[in-house]
Copies of this chain bind each other. A is one copy, B any other.
């Protein structure tokens, strides 16, 4: 009966190995980009032979797809959980959303950079698959963030405005910090990046600015 829940040793090991490969791939892809990483390199970092990679993933592109998808889903679910919470105060929920997302962004810069380095001319089936899934997630996200804005507007907490535009503005503001950071980091040696500091930067400094600008705007008069 409960064997269904309990994976066999074999199966458990397989999953661990799969994760090890994905972890190695993420590090390398994020550092050097999809086309500058060889399967051999991934294998070496994951401490397997090339052939083993192909036991887990049909091709380099499938590996990439799995990587993007699995990490994105985690990211997505965390945010959707916040948006799905039933909180009485929409502003508080928006704040929580900001804090959560900024925390994630600072922690997962690697996968975000990867996410924006699409592989065109990818096997069409893979691309379609990946896109379908991502589109579904983006739509859900947009809808729910927009709904939260609408709740805030209807509660008179946020200015009358198109809730979707507000959602885009808030999300764009946060994304903007990520790309500002990525731009800055182009020149840096990836091994020199202080990930702890980075996380803190996003979770504290950047998050604070996002909240202030988003809520209060920049004008002095509005602060009055």
Residues of A within 8 A of B (CB): 31-36, 116-121, 131, 134-135, 138, 153, 156-161, 165-166, 168-180, 182-184, 186-187, 205, 209-210, 212-220, 222-223
* B158 x A210 contact (CB < 8 A): no
Residue in contact with A180 in the complex, picked from B119, B172, B177, B210, CB distance below 8 Å: B172
**Closest residue of chain B to A222, judged by CB?**
B222
Residues A186 and B131 in contact in the complex (CB < 8 Å), given A117-B117, A176-B176: yes
A29 to B216, CA, bound (A): 40
**Closest residue of chain B to A149, judged by CB?**
B218
Residue in contact with A176 in the complex, picked from B31, B172, B209, B223, CB distance below 8 Å: B172
Given known contacts A116-B183, A168-B209, A214-B218, what 16 new A-B pairs fall within 8 Å (CB)? A33-B121, A36-B121, A116-B182, A117-B117, A134-B187, A153-B220, A157-B219, A157-B220, A166-B218, A168-B176, A169-B213, A172-B180, A173-B176, A174-B176, A175-B175, A217-B218
* B220 x A217 contact (CB < 8 A): no
Residues of B within 8 A of A35 (CB): 34-35
With a 10 A CB-CB cut-off, give which of A33, A36, A135, A218 has the most chain B CB atoms.
Answer: A218
**Please, could you name 19 A-B residue pairs with CB atoms under 8 Å apart, sorted by A?**
A33-B120, A36-B120, A131-B186, A157-B219, A157-B220, A166-B213, A169-B173, A169-B176, A169-B210, A169-B213, A172-B176, A173-B173, A176-B176, A176-B179, A178-B179, A179-B179, A215-B217, A215-B222, A217-B222
